[in-house]
Amino acid sequence: MHQIKRLVVAVVGGTVLALGIALIVLPGPAFLVIPAGLAILAIEFAWARRWLRSARSLLPRRSKHDSAPRKKFTLQSLWRSAGFLLRQVLRRSLLPKRKAT
């Protein structure tokens, strides 16, 4: 059972990490996807834990006395984001492309 879990973590984490690496040159949030892939791989692999720890050390930490307010995700902002993404997917995949005349 442990080998199956290790294999699933390796496949899923490796796929997410590979996607993040591809997003370095493609348009997309590589700086979010790569740590997510490392976090998945860190469940089972020590080398991924070390890489994730070193990646976290590169990010600036917020101090307790930082005056800038933190941005909060509200339910309304999440719904708006989901609606926007759904509209984009539907617009690009379900509607037939118009032919130029």
Residue 88's pLDDT is what? 79
Which structural domain range is residue 21 located in? Answer: 1-58
24 occurs within a structural domain: yes
Residue 2's pLDDT is what? 84
32 occurs within a structural domain: yes
Question: Is residue 38 a contact partner of residue 48, using CB atoms and an 8 Å limit?
Answer: yes
70 occurs within a structural domain: no
The closest of 17, 48, 45 to 33, measured between CA atoms, is 17
Question: What is the distance in angstroms between the CA of the first residue and the CA of the last residue of the chain?
Answer: 60
CA 80, distance to chain mean position in Å, is 19
47 occurs within a structural domain: yes
User: How many domains does one find in the chain?
Assistant: 1
Going residue by residue through the chain, which has 101 residues, state the pLDDT in tens, using 9 for 90 and above: 888 989 999 999 999 989 989 988 888 888 888 888 989 999 988 988 888 888 778 766 666 666 666 666 677 777 888 888 888 777 766 556 666 66
pTM value? Answer: 0.56
Residue 15's pLDDT is what? 93
79 occurs within a structural domain: no
